[in-house]
Structure formats: structure tokens, C-alpha cells
Amino acid sequence: MRPFTYSRATDPSSAIKMLAQNPNARFLAGGTNLLDLMKEDVERPNALIDISELGLSDIKPIAAGTNQGGISLGGLGKNTDTANHLLVRQNYPLLTQAILAGASGQLRNMATNGGNLLQRTRCPYFYEVAMPCNKREPGTGCGAKEGINRMHAIFGWSEQCVAVYPSDMAVALAALDAVVKVRNADGQERSIPIADFHRLPGDKPEQDTNLPHGELITAIELPKNRFADKSYYLKVRDRASYAFALVSVAAALEMDPSDESGKRIKAVRIAMGGVAHKPWRALKAEQLLVGKEATDANFKLAATAEMADAKPLEHNAFKVELGNRSIVLALQMAMNGGKA
């Protein structure tokens, strides 16, 4: 690990100003990803600004504004506290399931909500500094594209990068139409829809998000919805715990109350993880299902429509069929209230 200075911020404004003044500084909260990257010499900050004591950890109802009736998750709230909070468990069980599917209990105790959104890919070519990687060192090439790419993207990749985004939490947030609240050095606050927060690699794979240096995630807002009783997070991985997704699916359904059969879909949200450089909203599948009956046949049609645009690499063609089956199973589980 390279030398760096350490300072502890006492309030959000001073923290943001310190970061904005130094392009090589980084915020330190839980540190569960950043410190690993520093040890591997992938990240080389010359200064760490500890923001762990700024507050910004409350989970509370939103009383007014665009997302009135929803809840606000503090950017520095711990993943464990968020997953187990009564408001989240009762109203957004999809988020609870996704958080608990990720990492380990020890890591969730340390990891923050904002930090979870900002974690970087676990592509082994990104972590191995002896290998070419456009994300780590732009212009050197993408080692994974012609290398071993079993874990890599099947949607949205470019010639510059085929890495996938690792978070489980963010996949659920994508399905729940979350909004990320951020603050800059001038004290101005703005809102970023979760769909616009993360980026596809394009020709700038080194940029994971649309959050400029010098801004701080203060909260994540979840709008009110009617998905609580019919939602499910499915994670397919190589082992049962402490592993990143080969494919994951966050699925949520709202049924049409005017339909006597109770099977007609009024609204649906589907997001996928392990398949792209950002949480992948399955918009084609969603559009196909709205107004249809929640049947296995319709679920299969929707999954097939979504996966038709997949572009697998040499070693991950299995993800196309796996994604197809995972969408169907997640929708079936959601329809049954999480029961097989």
C-alpha cells in the first residue's frame, strides 16, 4: 500500500470541500472495497477523508416532495441496519433480500449504502495490475475480452470493457426506481435517478458512475409502491454464500385490483445483475408483461424477448439461457410471495 494522508471530516460541507480540492483524494466510510483496491495497488489515493462520523445514516419516511410516502436511506447507513430496518422489511422486502444475498455478515456490518453503489468491478483483470485493463489504466486494452470471460457482461459491453457491476443492493434499487441524493462543494443538492447513476463502459470504462469527483451521496430515496407482497430477489452463483452473481434478478409485480381473477399485471419491475456494467433494467420484458396475465407462458415470452439482445462472449454464452430461466423463476417466486 502506498503512503497517504488521513483526515477525519466533522461535517458534510468540510468533507466535500476537502475532496474537491484534491483530485487524488478519496472518501473513506466502511472501506470494504477501497482498502482492498489500495492493497492491490489498483487505487492509489494520496489522501483519505474519513466520513464515517458525519451522521447521514437515518432511515426515515419521506414527508414531502416528489417521493412523498416513500422512505429515505442515509448514504452512510450500514447495509446490515438498512436490510433489517422495519420500514425496509415491511415496505421494500426486495431490498432486504438483495442486501442479505451479498457479501458476508461482517462486511455488511461495515459497508455503507452510498459505498455499496460506488463499489468497483471484481473483474480479475482489473485487480491484476500486470494485466491490461482500460478501466484501471485507459488505453492499455481489455484483457478480459480475449481472455477468460465467464463472469463477464452479455449486455451493454464495448470493445473497451466487458466487466460487470457487482452490487446486489443496486439491482434491487434499480427495480424500485430509487433516486440518489448528492451534494457538491457549493452545498447544492441534486437528485440522480438510479437508472442514470451508473454508466455503460462505452469509450470511457474508467468512469463507473455519473457522480463527479467532489460530490457526496447523502441519501437514497425509494418512492412509494405496491410491490411489497409480490417481489423476489434471485441470485445464481457458484456457491451458496460470499460469491458474486453469475446472474441475479430483482422482480416485483403489482396486480390489477379491478381484475377478478387477481392475475392481471398492472405494473412490473425487473432488473438484472451480473450481466452488464450497471444494473440492467429488463425494459422489454416489463413492457411485454404489463396488462397480461401472470402466467408461466407469459413469463417465458417476456424473458425470451429480453434475452434476445444478449451478446455473449467466448466463455459466457451459458448466461443467456441462465438469464432466461432466472427471469422466469424470479417472476414465479414474486407472484407466489417469495414461495416456491
Q: Where are the domains of the chain?
A: 5-53, 231-335
For residue 136, the tally of other CB atoms under 10 A from its CB is: 24
Grid coordinates of 242: 460470499
For the range 18-27, what are the long-range contacts, defined as Cβ-Cβ under 8 Å and sequence gap of 24 or more? 18/47, 18/49, 19/49, 19/185, 19/213, 19/214, 19/216, 20/184, 20/185, 20/213, 20/214, 22/46, 22/47, 23/213, 25/49, 27/51, 27/216
- State the fold for domain 231-335: Enolase-like; domain 1 (3.30.390)
pLDDT in the model for residue 340 = 72
As beta bridge partners, residue 255 has 265
Reading the chain (340 residues) residue by residue, the pLDDT tens digits are 999 999 999 999 999 999 999 999 999 999 999 999 999 999 999 999 999 999 999 999 999 888 889 999 999 999 999 999 999 999 999 999 999 999 999 999 999 999 999 999 999 999 999 999 999 999 999 999 999 999 999 999 999 999 999 999 999 999 999 999 999 999 999 999 999 999 999 999 999 999 999 999 999 999 999 999 999 999 999 999 899 999 999 999 999 999 999 999 999 999 999 999 999 999 999 999 999 999 999 999 999 999 999 999 999 999 999 999 999 999 999 999 988 7
Give yes or no for a contact between 218 and 67, defined as CB atoms under 8 angstroms apart.
no
Model confidence, pTM: 0.97
Full strand arrangement of the beta sheet holding 47-50: 5-8, 47-50, 25-28
Grid coordinates of 321: 439461457
HEC readout, 115-169:
HHHHCCCCCHHHHCCCCCECCCCCCCCECCCCCCCCCCCCCCCECCECCCCCCCH
Task: Enumerate residues 6+ apart whose C-beta is below 8 A from 156.
Answer: 200, 201, 276, 277, 278, 280
d(CA 137, CA 126): 9
pLDDT in tens, 221-254: 999 999 999 999 999 999 998 999 999 999 999 9
State the CATH architecture for 5-53.
2-Layer Sandwich (3.30)
Query: Nearest Cα to 219, choosing from 14, 81, 56?
Result: 56
Q: Are strands 47-50 and 25-28 parallel, antiparallel or unpaired?
A: parallel
pLDDT in tens, 46-78: 999 999 999 999 999 999 888 889 999 999 999
Give yes or no for a contact between 310 and 164, defined as CB atoms under 8 angstroms apart.
no
Task: Enumerate residues 6+ apart whose C-beta is below 8 A from 237.
Answer: 243, 244, 245, 246
